[in-house]
């Protein structure tokens, strides 16, 4: 498995990382079991995946606990990236709260659930939805880093302007953002800003929540417990656009003898500025398929073909 150094750190990330949202068990339907999730984590280790992305809100702590249980002593050998700053409001919904008190309490919770003294990469989960100035948030986090509670700081879901401000204030090493053949807002000022500041880019949702795996040949129906039951990308014109693009991707994948998911993930990893891709998975068979993306990354001719396919299908209908 190819690894890349996260710029400005000593963290070597496998180009395909493991996304531990689904194994949190509360947002991705009814087929997440502890046994299958643990097998998925073990398959990731076997495939040479060196890092795991999680968050306190993934299963409200369950994803972090699952990683601790599944990794056991191997947790010391891998990189765990978690997030900070999203709390459950009185309405039961998640909100980004970035006051010094919330940050400290949230981080302490992650350290406890993961059973570690320090987090390798801590990421602000969303930009602030309340009134805490960015300077105050970054100062509070600098203090927590000083105390050894985490090593490196990143941000997630920031636009170009907010990212620029955060990088100017200083102390961040990475941007985590959504990016796939079906989601390309990164290309443009956001990527330029990240690259200009020397930040690593960690791309999430490379399969567009599974759409780009080639598995969905008809409009799917998800249970209420699966967030995709409320995702417009799985309905109407947007689904059919994705399905046509994926069908062509599958033809290419078949020709070279790899799973469609590996081509979709490999394309993301091969794009400029990307340090690593976070591929979500529920089971070992998915991890084994997704990890195959790593050996495709250097195949520029393949990406030229895939780029042409994406261009033929055009942007996602709104
Ligand atoms: N920072 C943020 O705000 C943020 C936001 C989103 C995600 N993330 C991170 O990024 C990770 C990845 O994103 P994501 O999990 O949302 O989306 P994703 O990686 O695009 O899709 C993951 C889902 O696709 C399906 N899948 C995975 N591999 C497959 C394969 N080989 N064949 C068929 N289906 C496959 C699985 O669901 P089914 O089997 O049910 O179809 C899996 O749960 C997350 O786990 C999380 O760590 C971060």
Domains of the chain plus CATH, in order, are 3-313 (3.20.20.100)
Asked if 65 and 112 touch (Cβ cutoff 8 Å), the reply is no
Distances (CA, A) of 134 to 119, 141, 308: 21, 11, 40
Calculate what percentage of the chain has a pLDDT beyond 90. 93
d(CA 221, CA 231): 11
Q: What is the average pLDDT score of the chain?
A: 96
User: What three-state secondary structure class fits 122?
Assistant: strand
β-partners of residue 161 are none
β-partners of residue 178 are 204
Q: Is residue 206 in contact with ligand 1, taking CB distance under 6 Å?
A: yes
Instruction: Tell me if residue 58 is catalytic.
Output: yes
Write out pLDDT tens, residues 181-209: 999 999 999 999 999 999 999 999 999 99
Pocket-testing residue among 29, 186, 280, 286, ligand 1, by greatest number of atoms within 8 A of Cβ: 280
pLDDT of residue 317: 67
Q: How confident is the model at residue 314 (pLDDT cuts 50, 70, 90)?
A: confident
Q: Is residue 291 in contact with ligand 1, taking CB distance under 6 Å?
A: no
Ligand 1: nearest atom to the Cα of 126:
3
Q: Is residue 174 in contact with ligand 1, taking CB distance under 6 Å?
A: no
pLDDT of residue 318: 63
Q: Is residue 8 in contact with ligand 1, taking CB distance under 6 Å?
A: no
User: Is residue 247 scored above 80 in pLDDT?
Assistant: yes
Tell me what the mean pLDDT of segment 84-109 comes to.
Answer: 91
The pTM of the whole model exceeds 0.95:
yes
Write out pLDDT tens, residues 26-80: 999 999 999 999 999 999 999 999 999 999 999 999 999 999 999 999 999 999 9
Write out pLDDT tens, residues 108-134: 999 999 999 999 999 999 998 788 999
d(CA 87, CA 101): 12
pLDDT of residue 102: 94
Write out pLDDT tens, residues 169-180: 999 999 999 999
The larger pLDDT score, comparing residue 94 to residue 59, is at 59
CA 259-19-120 angle, 5° bins: 135
Six-digit token pair at 266? 């490999």
pLDDT of residue 129: 78
User: Is residue 89 scored above 70 in pLDDT?
Assistant: yes
Tell me what the mean pLDDT of segment 217-241 comes to.
Answer: 95
Cα 293 to averaged position of ligand 1 atoms, centre (Å): 15
pLDDT of residue 164: 97
């Amino acid at each position: 498995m190819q690894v890349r150094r996260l710029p400005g750190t000593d963290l070597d990330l496998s180009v395909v990382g493991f996304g531990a949202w689904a194994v949190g068990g509360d947002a991705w339907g009814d087929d997440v079991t502890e046994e299958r999730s643990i097998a998925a984590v073990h398959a990731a280790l076997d495939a040479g995946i060196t890092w795991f992305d999680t968050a306190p809100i993934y299963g409200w702590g369950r994803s972090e606990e699952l990683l601790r249980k599944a990794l056991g002593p191997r947790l010391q050998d891998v990189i765990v990236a978690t997030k900070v700053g999203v709390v459950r409001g009185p309405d039961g919904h998640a909100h980004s709260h970035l006051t010094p008190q919330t940050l400290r309490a949230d981080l302490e919770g992650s350290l406890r659930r993961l059973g570690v003294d320090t987090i390798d990469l801590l990421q602000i989960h969303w930009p602030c939805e309340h009134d805490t100035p960015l300077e105050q948030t970054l100062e509070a986090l600098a203090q927590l880093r000083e105390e050894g509670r985490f090593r490196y700081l990143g941000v997630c879901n920031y636009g170009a302007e907010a990212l620029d401000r955060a990088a100017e204030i200083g102390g961040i090493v990475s941007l985590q953002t959504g990016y796939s053949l079906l989601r390309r807002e990164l290309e443009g000022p956001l990527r330029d800003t990240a690259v200009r500041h020397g930040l690593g880019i960690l791309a999430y949702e490379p399969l567009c929540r599974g759409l780009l795996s080639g598995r969905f040949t008809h409009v799917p129906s998800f249970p209420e417990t699966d967030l995709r039951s409320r995702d417009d990308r799985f309905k109407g014109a947007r689904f059919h656009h994705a399905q046509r693009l994926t069908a062509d991707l599958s033809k290419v994948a078949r020709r070279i003898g790899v799973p469609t998911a590996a081509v979709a993930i490999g394309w993301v990893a091969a794009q400029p500025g990307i340090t690593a891709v976070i591929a979500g998975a529920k089971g070992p068979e998915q991890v084994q398929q997704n990890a195959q993306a790593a050996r495709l990354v250097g195949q520029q001719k393949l990406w030229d073909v895939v780029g042409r396919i994406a261009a033929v299908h055009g942007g996602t209908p709104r």
